[in-house]
Structure 1
């Protein structure tokens, strides 16, 4: 790739945009939640416990309901997952992570569509996106897409 003045200009703007994003309130809140999560020893222990249990669950899943510990392990995994999901620190982290992801998706959409309106930008799982479809959903336009 040859470095042209345009290329250098674009890279400088991209670097500035990255700095703006990392200095945003959303990014600061995400970092704060991430630090709280990483520093909470009890939660980290529970997460490690869940990861070990999940590995055991995957091993049990190979045999399905025919494994002697199938229902016990399945129940333990669901209970511990629910416990972790209801933890306030983890819930705050997941919320902050989702907000940052939405910001980055929105920015990538703006950048892509400033180049061309026909550029498709993946925004994650469209089932969970609370925006209207931007095309290609296969519903025949009933969702309002073009």
Structure 2
């Protein structure tokens, strides 16, 4: 049986990371991120969303018992939809989701090659992914 030592394994991991960094998904994500950072309207929307999110986070600490919980949640969700309608932010969010999908799939492939029972952490804050299938700066 051919065994690989830890140094060789890490070198292979670095090669995989380099290949991912050269992918279309990373190129598109970085370009979209730069456009968001340079766009004044996008930055204003992001700051406003962060304020709404802070209000929701404060309400969320107490959960449904907080008197403004539902209002704060609805406002944050509505504003997130509004942000997505901004072409610069929408493109960024789509690129981010595609890159996250790629990274999640690579993680699942590696984990499943070891065992079907290994849990694979995924970045899916909105709960969009289905199990074993397929996310402003």
Fold conserved between structures, TM > 0.5: yes
Higher relative contact order (CA 8 A, sep 6+): 2
Structure 1 Cα separation of the partners of residues 56 and 105 of structure 2: 37
Matched, 1:104 2:107: no
Unaligned runs of 5+ in 2: none
Alignment of structure 1 residues 32-43 onto 2, 5 Å? 32-43=31-42
Number of aligned residue pairs: 124
Partner of 1:50: 49
Structure 1 Cα separation of the partners of residues 104 and 36 of structure 2: 24
Question: Greater CA radius of gyration, 1 or 2?
Answer: 1
Structure 1 Cα separation of the partners of residues 32 and 89 of structure 2: 8
Unaligned runs of 5+ in 1: 134-146
Partner of 1:20: 19
Shift of 1:30: 0.7
TM-score by length of 1: 0.67
Alignment of structure 1 residues 1-146 onto 2, 5 Å? 6-56=5-55, 64=67, 80-125=79-124, 127-130=127-130
Range with greater deviation from structure 2 (82-91 or 94-103): 82-91
Partner of 1:140: none
RMSD: 3.1
Structure 2 Cα separation of the partners of residues 113 and 21 of structure 1: 19
